[in-house]
Chains A and B, each alone.
Chain A
Amino acid sequence: MNGSDAPRGTATPFRVLDRLGSLSFALQAATDPDTVFHALAEHVLDIAGADQFALLLLNDESGDLEGYAYERDRAGGRRVLLVPDQDGFLGQVLRHETFLAHEASDASRAGPDEIGWSGDAPATLVGMPLRIGTTLLGLTVVGYRRARPVTSRRRRTLLFLADQIGMAVDRLRVREELHASARSLDEARLALRRMDQTKSDLISVVSHEMRTPLTAIKAYTESLLDNLGRPSFDMQEKFLSVINEEADRLTRMVNDVLDLSRMDSGRRRLRVEPLGIPAVVEDARLTVEPTLQQKRLQLRVTVSDDLPPVEADFDLLKQVFVNLLHNAAKFSPEDREIFVRVAMHGDQARFEVEDQGHGIPTEKLPHVFERFYRVEDGGGARTEGTGLGLAIVKSVVELHGGAIHVESEVGRGTRFVFELPLHQHGFLRLIRSLEPLFVQPERRNVLQQCVTMVAEVMDAGIVSFMFLDETGTSLRVQAAHGLDPDTVARTQVRVGDSIAGWVAHHGEPLLVRDIESSRRFRKMSHPQYETKSLLAAPILIAGETVGVVNVNNKSDGLPFDEDDLRLLVAIVARVSAALERLHHQPTEADIAATLSSLRAVIRARRQRLIPNTRRSFKLATDVARRLSLPEDEIAILGYIARVHDVGMLTLENAPWCSSQVWSERERRDVESHPQSSIRLLRPLESAPKVHEIILAHHERMDGEGYPRGLRGEEIPLAARILAAVDAFEALTAGRPYRDPVSDAEALAELRRASGTQFDPNVVEALAAALDEAGDARPPSTGAARPTGRTEGVTP
């Protein structure tokens, strides 16, 4: 039976090989999916001796099946798009991811006709999942019009074909992904270039515009100096007042440019609160009152009674009114009126500021919101204004999710109209979505472990995580290490105030070396701090600043420095990413993995498995700079130095505690610890670079290291640095089974292994770093500065 079946139905093995050869040839030549599918179909029908063939791929998002159905003796395929019935034939293949044969005699759940063959329905139908690794791509279906027994040989042939098809499909996917990522890279590059262009345009415009007040200051100052000696000179006061005014104008420009660039880059966080609009308008009126009086302009304000409070940033919204009113006043002749009207419009608040001024010609209207664009005010000369007022207005309105436009008629006046949503939903929703972190026990636990981990890795006595409230105006402590519960409950900081408030407001990390010498923060009392030095970094989730990590009381009592700040930024980036993952509906397993990752780092630090000396951390950074490691890698090197050996925890009988020769098993265990580290850190770590460096830090220059036996430059530079600094630290600090040696002896030992175990360049850079450091802090070479602000100076 089998023997007679082979020649008629399934091709002979020899023929199969032959056909497979031409199939793989056809597949390699083809690039577009349709051609590949058609070639596959032709060969499968032939090799399997089948009448029908369908190739259906799963759509990841919809779960639909898409593909083609082919029939023997019919050219081309028919496009198929179907929703598989869970219990139907296709559904079962997908659900169980197994080979499934259906023979006509089996009259159970039919469904073979889901595909809708155009000719006779198949008598024997075989479904096979398409998989690459563990990923299910879809399935293939092979049909025979006449009943065929599915022998084990036929089964093998079909499974083999399915594998080939899976690989072909996967290759298409990879190719498509490559194309897509190349496209998105191109787009990103273009966007960057455009941004860069905008920025240089702005810089050139700004520097040009700033010359105007500078020119006046320079000219009046020089003339004043040249004429001071003259008895008849009586213009001192006039000149000085011009200088004073122009210096003010320059200041305003600088502030405006800074405001704008902060808003552009998203660093200016909105401090949203429900605002009563009449109060905002009144506040703005007081500011522009002198200008209004000068021209005897009347301000008429109407706010409709049904207007509810509007969620907005008070300072920014006030500035919108001030700028619009100034603008209206500037372009109004004397004795006119300016109208402000506010009312509901649909579900938004609608604001109008209207003047009876000269108006703006239609062709200039589209430009009025451009930076430094100025419409002539009709009077000729211009002496005030920064040319940025309306650009700021537009930015603020858009930052609040609103829109602005302008209407004008020359000779009649101009009206600016903008609408703002009543609620700033995005931020509110984000903050509310964080709520489970603070109340749900499991997630609270994650947050608490994050705090402890930061404290352990930073070697700090006090760490607190503060989060913004729903209005975005104040910060509260949600988890802390080293603070009494009373302080935690009591502490609340307004955004903009004090250190945490500054960081939340600017979205930048901050280093205060000495709180008492800091002009900005000196006046505030911080009773819980024992040391005068502190660090703070923003917690970013979904691109928004949602909170601040504060770190104080370094355990060695020394002040924090830029390297500590850099380390904190690297850790907080990881903590933020972990929290962000948890905030997108995590599974129990996600939470458990994150927790065990955090606990492992904490435990490894406490057991001092991970070298902890500040010195080795500094040495690593210093050596990295000397060897011109890219700044972004230097930034993570400090972090890696503190967590890379966490995998040692997984070793059962700590072999590092003995000086005995390791057994084969122990050696294997030790040699696999880099992989264990990576496994443990995975929930905290998404940067491939970090994995790469950790994995390679026990490799040797001569290829005798582990786990992969890389050699020379195959080993990432950062890993080579880490290897040498680690060894140096181990030698000088000593280990339970070995006494510490001096720096010179340790260096000599490193040099002996230079070229075999260690990178000679790294060893020499290490020597140079030690040499230069002496007993003082290692100097930072070159222009490398950490990101973020530095406050105060160490005396």
Chain B
Amino acid sequence: MSKGRILVVDDEIYIVHILDFSLGMEGYEVLTALDGEQALERVRSDKPDLIVLDIMMPKLDGYEVCRAVKSNPETRNVPVILLSAKGRNVDQKMGFDVGADDYITKPFSPRKLVERINAILGQTVSERSTPSS
């Protein structure tokens, strides 16, 4: 039984693979996208429960994707974690300005990312009062 559906967006294929592996091990169903446009398509078609989003990507960058997700009433409540090599304060602020729920800088610890996702989803799941194991 899946703990939830997570969309991983990054143009670095190895990062997508390792997140697929780590989240998969944790019992999540993982969807992937390699650029911003693909990401928005998957958000529309597959209704993920959470999005892990790189910022610097071809076609549409992570900020734009996040803004689009957060401005659409249907997807507004989907938590977005920005995962980026851009580590300056202004980058983080920009992330929160476009509505991101969390901001993690690369290089990152997959274990901690999973813990963070567990926490966020546990919270939102309990808010919706649909208990999960």
Interface residues of A (CB under 8 A from B): 208, 211-212, 214-220, 222-223, 226-227, 235, 242, 246, 376, 380-383
Tell me which of B11, B38, B87 contacts A382 (CB under 8 A).
B11
Please list 10 pairs of residues, one from A and one from B, whose beta carbons are closer than 8 Å in the complex, sorted by A's number: A208-B85, A208-B86, A216-B15, A217-B107, A219-B15, A222-B111, A246-B14, A380-B11, A380-B38, A381-B34
Check A215–B15 contact: CB distance below 8 A.
yes
**Which residue from chain B places its CB closest to the CB of A227 in the assembled complex?**
B25
Check A219–B107 contact: CB distance below 8 A.
yes
Q: Closest 8 A-B residue pairs measured CB to CB? A: A218-B107, A380-B34, A211-B85, A215-B106, A381-B13, A215-B107, A376-B58, A216-B14
Q: Looking at the complex, which of B16-24, B67-75, B121-129 is the stretch in contact with chain A?
A: B16-24
The interface residues of chain A lying within 8 Å CB-to-CB of B17 are: 242
Q: Is the interface of A mostly helix, strand, loop or mixed?
A: helix
The interface residues of chain A lying within 8 Å CB-to-CB of B35 are: 376, 380
The interface size of chain B toward A, counting residues with CB under 8 Å, comes to 26
Check B11–A215 contact: CB distance below 8 A.
no
Check A223–B85 contact: CB distance below 8 A.
no
B window 89-129: CB within 8 A of A: 106-111
**Which residue from chain B places its CB closest to the CB of A378 in the assembled complex?**
B58
The interface residues of chain B lying within 8 Å CB-to-CB of A208 are: 85-86
Check B18–A223 contact: CB distance below 8 A.
yes
Give bound CA distance, A382 to B54, whole Å. 13
The interface residues of chain B lying within 8 Å CB-to-CB of A216 are: 12, 14-15, 18
* Closest chain A CB from B123 CB (angstroms): 24
The interface residues of chain B lying within 8 Å CB-to-CB of A218 are: 107-109
**Which residue from chain A places its CB closest to the CB of B88 in the assembled complex?**
A204
Check B12–A212 contact: CB distance below 8 A.
yes
B window 6-48: CB within 8 A of A: 11-19, 21-22, 25, 34-35, 38
The interface residues of chain A lying within 8 Å CB-to-CB of B25 are: 227
Tell me which of B13, B22, B59, B86 contacts A383 (CB under 8 A).
B13
The interface residues of chain B lying within 8 Å CB-to-CB of A220 are: 14, 18
Given contacts A208-B86, A212-B106, contact A226 B111 (CB under 8 A): yes
- Chain A-chain B contacts (Cβ-Cβ < 8 Å), number: 71
**Which residue from chain A places its CB closest to the CB of B58 in the assembled complex?**
A376
7 extra A-B contacts, CB within 8 A, seeds A227-B25, A235-B21, A381-B11: A208-B86, A220-B18, A223-B110, A223-B111, A381-B13, A382-B13, A383-B12
Most buried by B among A208, A214, A215: A215
Give bound CA distance, A222 to B59, whole Å. 31
The interface residues of chain B lying within 8 Å CB-to-CB of A211 are: 85, 87, 106-107
**Which residue from chain B places its CB closest to the CB of A233 in the assembled complex?**
B25
* Closest chain B CB from A355 CB (angstroms): 20
Tell me which of B38, B85, B111 contacts A215 (CB under 8 A).
B85
Give bound CA distance, A222 to B86, whole Å. 21
Give bound CA distance, A208 to B107, whole Å. 10
Interface residues of B (CB under 8 A from A): 11-19, 21-22, 25, 34-35, 38, 58-59, 85-87, 106-111
Tell me which of A214, A226, A242, A376 contacts B107 (CB under 8 A).
A214
The interface residues of chain B lying within 8 Å CB-to-CB of A222 are: 109-111
* Closest chain A CB from B101 CB (angstroms): 21
**Which residue from chain A places its CB closest to the CB of B22 in the assembled complex?**
A223
**Which residue from chain B places its CB closest to the CB of A380 in the assembled complex?**
B34
**Which residue from chain B places its CB closest to the CB of A208 in the assembled complex?**
B85
Give bound CA distance, A381 to B34, whole Å. 6
**Which residue from chain A places its CB closest to the CB of B35 in the assembled complex?**
A380
**Which residue from chain A places its CB closest to the CB of B17 in the assembled complex?**
A242
Give bound CA distance, A218 to B112, whole Å. 12
The interface residues of chain B lying within 8 Å CB-to-CB of A214 are: 106-107
Give bound CA distance, A246 to B18, whole Å. 13
**Which residue from chain A places its CB closest to the CB of B34 in the assembled complex?**
A380
Check B14–A383 contact: CB distance below 8 A.
yes
Give bound CA distance, A381 to B8, whole Å. 13
Give bound CA distance, A740 to B25, whole Å. 82
The interface residues of chain A lying within 8 Å CB-to-CB of B109 are: 218-219, 222
* Closest chain A CB from B133 CB (angstroms): 21
Give bound CA distance, A218 to B18, whole Å. 11
The interface residues of chain B lying within 8 Å CB-to-CB of A215 are: 12, 15, 85, 106-108
**Which residue from chain A places its CB closest to the CB of B86 in the assembled complex?**
A208
**Which residue from chain B places its CB closest to the CB of A225 in the assembled complex?**
B111
The interface residues of chain B lying within 8 Å CB-to-CB of A235 are: 21
* Closest chain B CB from A33 CB (angstroms): 53
Tell me which of A212, A226, A246, A382 contacts B85 (CB under 8 A).
A212
* Closest chain B CB from A710 CB (angstroms): 52
The interface residues of chain A lying within 8 Å CB-to-CB of B87 are: 211
Give bound CA distance, A226 to B111, whole Å. 8
* Closest chain B CB from A107 CB (angstroms): 87
The interface residues of chain A lying within 8 Å CB-to-CB of B19 are: 219
* Closest chain B CB from A219 CB (angstroms): 5
* Closest chain B CB from A436 CB (angstroms): 57
* Closest chain A CB from B43 CB (angstroms): 17
The interface residues of chain B lying within 8 Å CB-to-CB of A383 are: 12-14
**Which residue from chain B places its CB closest to the CB of A226 in the assembled complex?**
B111
Give bound CA distance, A246 to B108, whole Å. 15
Give bound CA distance, A217 to B107, whole Å. 9
Given contacts A223-B22, A227-B25, contact A381 B108 (CB under 8 A): no
Give bound CA distance, A47 to B107, whole Å. 85
Give bound CA distance, A376 to B12, whole Å. 12
Give bound CA distance, A223 to B17, whole Å. 12
Give bound CA distance, A382 to B12, whole Å. 6
* Closest chain A CB from B95 CB (angstroms): 16
**Which residue from chain A places its CB closest to the CB of B105 in the assembled complex?**
A211
Most buried by B among A208, A211, A227, A381: A381
* Closest chain B CB from A104 CB (angstroms): 84
The interface residues of chain A lying within 8 Å CB-to-CB of B14 are: 216, 219-220, 242, 246, 383
Give bound CA distance, A383 to B17, whole Å. 12
Give bound CA distance, A211 to B106, whole Å. 7
Check B58–A219 contact: CB distance below 8 A.
no
Give bound CA distance, A254 to B15, whole Å. 21
Given contacts A211-B85, A382-B12, A383-B12, contact A219 B110 (CB under 8 A): yes
Give bound CA distance, A235 to B107, whole Å. 21
Give bound CA distance, A227 to B21, whole Å. 11
Check B59–A376 contact: CB distance below 8 A.
yes
The interface residues of chain B lying within 8 Å CB-to-CB of A380 are: 11, 34-35, 38, 58
The interface residues of chain A lying within 8 Å CB-to-CB of B38 are: 380
The interface residues of chain B lying within 8 Å CB-to-CB of A219 are: 14-15, 18-19, 22, 107-110
